Amino acid sequence: MTATRGLEGVVATTSSISSIIDDTLTYVGYNIDDLTENASFEEVIYLLWHLELPTKEQLQQLKEELAENMELPQEVLASFKTYPLEKVHPMAVLRTAVSALGIFDEDAEVMDKEANYKKAIRLQAKMPAIVAAFARIRKGLEPIAPRKDLGFAANFMYMIKGEEPDEIEVEAMNKALILHADHELNASTFTARVCVATLSDIYSGITAAIGALKGPLHGGANEQVMKMLTEIGSADNVESYIKDKLEKKEKIMGFGHRVYRKGDPRAKHLKEMSKKLTEITGEPEWYNISVKVEEVFTSEKPLPPNVDFYSASVYHSLGFDHDLFTPIFAVSRTSGWLAHILEQYENNRLIRPRAEYTGPGMRSYIPLDERK
Ligand SMILES: CC(=O)SCCNC(=O)CCNC(=O)[C@H](O)C(C)(C)COP(=O)(O)OP(=O)(O)OC[C@H]1O[C@@H](n2cnc3c(N)ncnc32)[C@H](O)[C@@H]1OP(=O)(O)O
Ligand SMILES: O=C([O-])CC(=O)C(=O)O
């Protein structure tokens, strides 16, 4: 038995949800470029869960179901106020809140298809409400009730900021949500599938996935990118900053990818959005610094930017606190996690690979008082 480090190149499951072939990303056969330009996030949720784009009636029904399920249990909201608000990371809150939601869902342990679909709707609807409520509570503000007349992207922004976003902001948010929705067998989706393949419940699967997304080698990279851009401060400092990091053998967040070789097809959309939004907000330096980082880094290492690189300046321009970037990613990726969880339940087999043992050979037990 020989281990493959990080399971690189290992094909661990079949899936009909998304594919990456020759650096092209598709959701159920639709190119991501096409969906980003034309679809709403709700259409993409439907696509990922049903493997077809919705009709007008099906889309309307999904929107109504999401709108009806956005409110959070009072117990979950009240618990936020008990957390160490100044220092807790919102991803830790999201992970805990999703686990708590499972406690208050009377269908949590019901495993049939209908109950699982209902829970998927409830979770997708409540994720933005959790992120928004916590973002406000930690600032001493009251959570804002969701508005049933707004679409997913607009409502999410409204619940965080307390004011209705303008058309350009909604368009950018909708695109960002689509671009982050699914990505084949990335680490957090694999985690979700491993978890539910034991026939554990959906809440456990999403809680586990949030834990995996949180790390800086995965979804947590977008917050780290913004931290780096802030440290750099000006395009003039980029060269020395990047070279110094590389000399110290440190990674530059937002670059590289396990699967893409020529580049991440999502990055170009986010780069374009970053340019447009930073001009509108009158802070073009975030885009200029980012472009310079890309130039300097890729001339040192042939590793193109991934989805997390330009999403940092996009989310900053949309006015989000920097530690909300990864939770925002999680709100979108929940649609993909749920699609994969439902697919796993449909054709389940326990996921249990082997390990190549590298420890000591067979030894005899030494009684405690004889050990040195
Ligand atoms: C949504 C997402 O999850 S997208 C990814 C978000 N994560 C990041 O942006 C973090 C920065 N990037 C990385 O750490 C990596 O590129 C990953 C985790 C995305 C992919 O990692 P892997 O496929 O395991 O590649 P690995 O980490 O083994 O790197 C291979 C080589 O490239 C180098 N490398 C990879 N990424 C980077 C980077 N961002 N900066 C500097 N060097 C890098 C490594 O140091 C290593 O060099 P070596 O062979 O000389 O030791
Ligand atoms: O696929 C991966 O390894 C990481 C990634 O880009 C994502 O999850 O969107």
Averages of pLDDT over each 10 residues, the chain, 372 residues: 95 98 97 98 98 98 96 96 95 98 97 97 98 97 93 97 96 98 98 98 98 98 98 97 97 98 96 98 98 98 97 98 98 98 98 97 97 95
- pLDDT score for 1: 86
What are phi and psi for residue 167, nearest 5 degrees?
A: -60, -40
The pLDDT of residue 251 is 97
Q: Which atom of ligand 1 is nearest to the CA of 213?
A: 3
108/62 same-domain check:
yes
Q: What is the pLDDT of residue 39?
A: 98
Whether 252 is in a domain gets the answer yes
With a 6 Å cutoff on the Cβ, whether 258 touches ligand 2 is yes
Query: In the annotation, is 308 catalytic?
Result: yes
Q: Are residues 32 and 179 in the same domain?
A: yes
Q: What is the pLDDT of residue 322?
A: 98
Give me ligand 1 centre to Cα 260, in Å: 11
Q: What is the pLDDT of residue 284?
A: 98
Alpha helices in the chain (DSSP H): 32-38, 41-50, 56-68, 74-80, 90-104, 113-137, 152-161, 167-179, 187-196, 202-213, 221-232, 238-247, 267-281, 285-300, 307-317, 325-346
Q: Are residues 313 and 327 in the same domain?
A: no
For residues 162 and 289, membership in a common domain is answered with no
**The pLDDT of residue 6:** 97
Mutate to test the pocket of ligand 1, among 189, 228, 257, 309 (most ligand atoms within 8 A of CB): 257
Look up residue 31 and give its two tokens: 């190119």
Check residue 364 and give its pLDDT: 97
Query: Does the beta carbon of 307 lie inside 6 Å of ligand 1?
Result: yes
Q: What pLDDT was estimated at residue 46?
A: 98
Closest CA to 239 of 293, 284, 290: 293
Task: Specify the pLDDT at position 283.
Answer: 98
Indicate if ligand 1 lies below 6 Å from the C-beta of 303. Answer: yes
d(CA 74, CA 65): 20
Please name which ligand lies nearest the alpha carbon of 19.
2
Across the beta sheet with 18-21, the strand order is: 18-21, 24-27, 30-31
CB of 219 shorter than 6 A to ligand 1: yes
**Residue having the nearest C-alpha atom to atom 5 of ligand 1:** 218
Which residue of the set 183, 218, 257, 340 is catalytic?
257
Of the residues 264, 269, 308, 340, only one is catalytic, namely 308
Same domain, 44 and 154: yes
Cα 2 to ligand 2 centroid, rounded to whole Å? 25
Domain range for 80 is 15-215+322-346
Q: What pairs with residue 20 in β-bridges?
A: 25
C-alpha of residue 209 to centroid of ligand 2, in Å: 13
**Domain presence at residue 8:** no
- Nearest CA, atom 6, ligand 1: 218
Is the CB–ligand 1 distance for residue 47 below 6 Å?
no
Please check whether residues 339 and 286 belong to one and the same domain: no
Active site residue 269: no
Q: Is 308 in the pocket of ligand 1 (CB under 6 A)?
A: yes
ipTM over 0.90? The verdict is yes
Identify the CATH number of the domain in which residue 38 sits: 1.10.580.10
The answer on 278 and 132 residing in a single domain is: no
Number of structural domains found in the chain: 2
pTM of the model: 0.98
CATH of the domain at 299: 1.10.230.10
